[in-house]
Structure 1
Protein backbone atom coordinates (compact mmCIF):
# COMPACT_ATOMS: atom_id res chain seq x y z
CA UNK A 1 0.00 0.00 0.00
CA UNK A 2 2.86 2.39 0.86
CA UNK A 3 4.46 1.71 -2.53
CA UNK A 4 1.23 2.62 -4.29
CA UNK A 5 0.91 5.87 -2.34
CA UNK A 6 4.55 6.79 -3.01
CA UNK A 7 4.12 6.03 -6.72
CA UNK A 8 0.95 8.13 -6.90
CA UNK A 9 2.66 11.04 -5.11
CA UNK A 10 5.61 10.92 -7.50
CA UNK A 11 3.28 10.83 -10.49
CA UNK A 12 1.29 13.76 -9.12
CA UNK A 13 4.45 15.78 -8.55
CA UNK A 14 5.75 15.04 -12.04
CA UNK A 15 2.43 15.88 -13.62
CA UNK A 16 2.15 19.18 -11.75
CA UNK A 17 4.36 20.87 -14.32
CA UNK A 18 2.09 22.73 -16.72
CA UNK A 19 -1.63 22.39 -17.20
CA UNK A 20 -3.48 19.20 -16.39
CA UNK A 21 -5.34 17.48 -19.22
CA UNK A 22 -7.99 15.12 -17.80
CA UNK A 23 -7.98 11.57 -19.15
CA UNK A 24 -11.06 9.98 -20.68
CA UNK A 25 -11.48 8.01 -17.43
CA UNK A 26 -11.36 11.00 -15.05
CA UNK A 27 -14.52 12.21 -13.37
CA UNK A 28 -14.52 15.90 -14.25
CA UNK A 29 -16.56 18.45 -12.30
CA UNK A 30 -16.72 21.86 -13.99
CA UNK A 31 -18.94 23.87 -11.67
CA UNK A 32 -21.63 21.19 -11.45
CA UNK A 33 -21.30 19.93 -15.02
CA UNK A 34 -20.00 16.40 -14.33
CA UNK A 35 -18.60 13.98 -16.89
CA UNK A 36 -18.15 10.25 -16.20
CA UNK A 37 -20.65 10.37 -13.34
CA UNK A 38 -21.35 6.67 -13.91
CA UNK A 39 -17.75 5.84 -12.97
CA UNK A 40 -18.22 7.68 -9.68
CA UNK A 41 -21.49 5.88 -8.94
CA UNK A 42 -19.80 2.55 -9.72
CA UNK A 43 -17.01 3.45 -7.27
CA UNK A 44 -19.56 4.19 -4.53
CA UNK A 45 -21.30 0.88 -5.26
CA UNK A 46 -17.97 -0.98 -5.17
CA UNK A 47 -17.10 0.58 -1.80
CA UNK A 48 -20.51 -0.50 -0.45
CA UNK A 49 -19.89 -4.05 -1.71
CA UNK A 50 -16.32 -4.22 -0.39
CA UNK A 51 -14.85 -4.44 -3.91
CA UNK A 52 -11.48 -2.77 -4.64
CA UNK A 53 -11.60 0.21 -6.99
CA UNK A 54 -9.94 3.54 -7.72
CA UNK A 55 -10.98 6.78 -9.40
CA UNK A 56 -9.72 10.28 -10.09
CA UNK A 57 -11.93 13.33 -9.66
CA UNK A 58 -10.85 16.61 -11.26
CA UNK A 59 -12.76 19.63 -9.96
CA UNK A 60 -12.17 23.11 -11.31
CA UNK A 61 -12.04 26.28 -9.23
CA UNK A 62 -13.88 29.45 -10.20
CA UNK A 63 -10.62 30.65 -11.77
CA UNK A 64 -10.37 27.46 -13.84
CA UNK A 65 -7.57 25.70 -11.92
CA UNK A 66 -7.84 21.92 -11.45
CA UNK A 67 -7.90 20.25 -8.04
CA UNK A 68 -7.25 16.53 -8.30
CA UNK A 69 -8.55 13.89 -5.91
CA UNK A 70 -7.38 10.30 -6.26
CA UNK A 71 -9.51 7.83 -4.30
CA UNK A 72 -8.44 4.22 -3.91
CA UNK A 73 -10.49 1.64 -2.06
CA UNK A 74 -8.59 -1.49 -0.99
CA UNK A 75 -11.59 -3.42 0.28
CA UNK A 76 -11.33 -1.96 3.79
CA UNK A 77 -10.53 1.74 3.62
CA UNK A 78 -10.39 4.63 1.16
CA UNK A 79 -7.10 6.44 0.60
CA UNK A 80 -7.61 10.01 -0.57
CA UNK A 81 -4.80 11.99 -2.18
CA UNK A 82 -5.71 15.61 -2.83
CA UNK A 83 -3.45 17.63 -5.14
CA UNK A 84 -3.92 21.41 -5.10
CA UNK A 85 -0.53 22.24 -6.67
CA UNK A 86 -2.17 23.58 -9.83
CA UNK A 87 -4.53 25.89 -7.92
CA UNK A 88 -2.91 29.33 -8.16
CA UNK A 89 -4.96 30.65 -5.23
CA UNK A 90 -4.94 27.50 -3.05
CA UNK A 91 -2.53 25.92 -0.61
CA UNK A 92 -0.44 24.30 -3.36
CA UNK A 93 -0.03 21.03 -1.50
CA UNK A 94 -0.56 17.29 -1.79
CA UNK A 95 -2.35 15.73 1.18
CA UNK A 96 -3.14 12.11 1.96
CA UNK A 97 -5.71 10.72 4.35
CA UNK A 98 -7.43 7.42 4.99
CA UNK A 99 -11.19 7.17 5.47
CA UNK A 100 -13.57 4.35 6.36
CA UNK A 101 -16.58 4.92 4.12
CA UNK A 102 -18.63 7.18 1.86
CA UNK A 103 -21.67 8.86 3.32
CA UNK A 104 -24.50 10.29 1.21
CA UNK A 105 -26.45 13.35 2.36
CA UNK A 106 -29.48 14.41 0.33
CA UNK A 107 -31.37 17.68 0.47
CA UNK A 108 -33.97 19.17 -1.86
CA UNK A 109 -31.24 21.12 -3.68
CA UNK A 110 -28.37 18.62 -3.87
CA UNK A 111 -26.77 15.31 -2.98
CA UNK A 112 -23.39 15.38 -1.23
CA UNK A 113 -20.97 12.45 -1.26
CA UNK A 114 -18.70 12.70 1.77
CA UNK A 115 -15.84 10.62 3.09
CA UNK A 116 -16.47 9.48 6.66
CA UNK A 117 -14.19 8.31 9.46
CA UNK A 118 -11.06 10.02 8.13
CA UNK A 119 -7.77 9.95 10.02
CA UNK A 120 -7.03 13.62 9.27
CA UNK A 121 -9.37 16.13 10.87
CA UNK A 122 -8.47 18.67 8.20
CA UNK A 123 -9.63 16.40 5.39
CA UNK A 124 -12.11 18.12 3.09
CA UNK A 125 -14.60 15.31 3.17
CA UNK A 126 -16.98 16.37 0.38
CA UNK A 127 -15.73 14.62 -2.76
CA UNK A 128 -18.67 15.35 -5.07
CA UNK A 129 -21.85 17.43 -5.06
CA UNK A 130 -24.65 16.68 -7.50
CA UNK A 131 -27.14 19.52 -7.83
CA UNK A 132 -30.79 18.65 -8.46
CA UNK A 133 -32.15 20.13 -11.65
Structure 2
Protein backbone atom coordinates (compact mmCIF):
# COMPACT_ATOMS: atom_id res chain seq x y z
CA UNK A 1 0.00 0.00 0.00
CA UNK A 2 1.37 3.36 -1.03
CA UNK A 3 0.83 6.02 1.63
CA UNK A 4 1.39 9.75 1.12
CA UNK A 5 1.26 12.39 3.84
CA UNK A 6 -0.67 15.49 2.78
CA UNK A 7 0.36 18.84 4.23
CA UNK A 8 -0.67 22.32 3.14
CA UNK A 9 0.11 25.70 4.65
CA UNK A 10 -3.45 26.73 3.75
CA UNK A 11 -4.80 24.75 6.75
CA UNK A 12 -3.69 24.68 10.39
CA UNK A 13 -0.64 22.63 11.24
CA UNK A 14 -1.32 19.57 13.40
CA UNK A 15 -1.24 20.25 17.14
CA UNK A 16 -0.23 16.71 18.05
CA UNK A 17 1.37 13.53 16.69
CA UNK A 18 -0.73 13.27 13.52
CA UNK A 19 -0.86 14.71 10.00
CA UNK A 20 -3.44 16.84 8.20
CA UNK A 21 -4.32 13.96 5.89
CA UNK A 22 -3.13 10.70 4.40
CA UNK A 23 -3.62 9.72 0.75
CA UNK A 24 -3.66 5.99 0.05
CA UNK A 25 -4.70 4.71 -3.34
CA UNK A 26 -7.57 6.95 -4.43
CA UNK A 27 -8.73 7.70 -0.86
CA UNK A 28 -7.88 10.76 1.20
CA UNK A 29 -8.35 10.52 4.98
CA UNK A 30 -8.53 14.01 6.51
CA UNK A 31 -7.85 14.50 10.21
CA UNK A 32 -10.37 16.47 12.26
CA UNK A 33 -10.22 20.16 11.46
CA UNK A 34 -10.92 22.64 14.22
CA UNK A 35 -12.43 26.00 13.37
CA UNK A 36 -9.15 27.90 13.32
CA UNK A 37 -9.21 31.04 11.19
CA UNK A 38 -6.12 30.88 8.97
CA UNK A 39 -6.04 34.69 8.69
CA UNK A 40 -5.66 35.21 12.45
CA UNK A 41 -4.51 31.82 13.72
CA UNK A 42 -7.28 32.00 16.32
CA UNK A 43 -10.69 30.38 16.73
CA UNK A 44 -13.64 32.74 16.39
CA UNK A 45 -16.09 32.89 19.29
CA UNK A 46 -19.24 31.49 17.65
CA UNK A 47 -20.00 27.94 16.55
CA UNK A 48 -21.16 29.02 13.07
CA UNK A 49 -17.93 30.95 12.56
CA UNK A 50 -15.87 28.00 13.77
CA UNK A 51 -17.80 25.63 11.48
CA UNK A 52 -17.08 27.95 8.55
CA UNK A 53 -13.35 27.95 9.36
CA UNK A 54 -13.32 24.19 9.88
CA UNK A 55 -14.88 23.62 6.46
CA UNK A 56 -12.53 26.13 4.79
CA UNK A 57 -9.58 24.26 6.32
CA UNK A 58 -10.98 20.94 5.14
CA UNK A 59 -11.44 22.39 1.63
CA UNK A 60 -7.81 23.60 1.63
CA UNK A 61 -6.63 20.06 2.34
CA UNK A 62 -8.90 18.67 -0.39
CA UNK A 63 -7.54 21.28 -2.82
CA UNK A 64 -3.95 20.24 -2.00
CA UNK A 65 -4.82 16.91 -3.63
CA UNK A 66 -6.83 18.44 -6.50
CA UNK A 67 -10.16 17.56 -4.90
CA UNK A 68 -13.23 19.41 -3.65
CA UNK A 69 -16.25 18.69 -1.47
CA UNK A 70 -17.67 16.79 -4.47
CA UNK A 71 -15.09 14.08 -3.65
CA UNK A 72 -16.22 13.66 -0.05
CA UNK A 73 -17.86 10.33 0.72
CA UNK A 74 -17.99 10.56 4.54
CA UNK A 75 -17.72 13.27 7.17
CA UNK A 76 -17.89 13.18 10.92
CA UNK A 77 -18.81 16.27 12.90
CA UNK A 78 -17.90 16.55 16.57
CA UNK A 79 -19.89 19.08 18.63
CA UNK A 80 -19.42 20.05 22.26
CA UNK A 81 -23.11 20.99 22.40
CA UNK A 82 -25.85 19.31 20.33
CA UNK A 83 -27.77 22.55 20.72
CA UNK A 84 -25.47 23.83 17.97
CA UNK A 85 -26.58 21.12 15.50
CA UNK A 86 -28.85 23.41 13.43
CA UNK A 87 -26.31 26.25 13.26
CA UNK A 88 -23.58 23.90 12.03
CA UNK A 89 -25.96 22.28 9.51
CA UNK A 90 -26.73 25.70 8.02
CA UNK A 91 -23.03 26.39 7.41
CA UNK A 92 -22.28 22.82 6.30
CA UNK A 93 -25.03 22.80 3.65
CA UNK A 94 -23.44 25.78 1.85
CA UNK A 95 -20.41 23.65 0.94
CA UNK A 96 -22.37 21.13 -1.15
CA UNK A 97 -24.47 21.33 -4.29
CA UNK A 98 -26.97 18.80 -2.98
CA UNK A 99 -24.71 15.74 -3.40
CA UNK A 100 -24.05 15.28 0.30
CA UNK A 101 -21.64 12.68 1.66
CA UNK A 102 -22.62 10.17 4.32
CA UNK A 103 -22.26 11.83 7.72
CA UNK A 104 -22.23 11.28 11.44
CA UNK A 105 -22.55 13.96 14.09
CA UNK A 106 -21.62 13.19 17.66
CA UNK A 107 -21.48 15.10 20.91
CA UNK A 108 -18.17 15.14 22.75
CA UNK A 109 -17.24 16.40 26.21
CA UNK A 110 -14.55 18.75 24.90
CA UNK A 111 -12.37 19.54 21.89
CA UNK A 112 -8.76 20.74 21.72
CA UNK A 113 -8.13 24.45 22.23
CA UNK A 114 -11.67 24.89 23.57
CA UNK A 115 -13.18 24.38 20.11
CA UNK A 116 -16.92 24.06 19.64
CA UNK A 117 -16.83 22.00 16.43
CA UNK A 118 -14.40 19.74 14.59
CA UNK A 119 -14.93 18.02 11.23
CA UNK A 120 -13.06 15.03 9.78
CA UNK A 121 -13.60 13.51 6.36
CA UNK A 122 -12.86 10.83 3.81
CA UNK A 123 -12.68 11.70 0.11
CA UNK A 124 -12.23 9.55 -2.98
CA UNK A 125 -10.65 10.70 -6.23
CA UNK A 126 -12.59 10.09 -9.40
- TM-score class, shorter: under 0.3
> Taking CA–CA contacts closer than 8 Å with sequence separation of 6 or more, which of the two structures ends up with the larger relative contact order?
2
TM-score (norm 2): 0.27
TM-score (norm 1): 0.26
Please identify the structure whose Cα radius of gyration is greater: 1
Q: Which has the higher helix share?
A: 2
Q: Which has the higher strand share?
A: 1
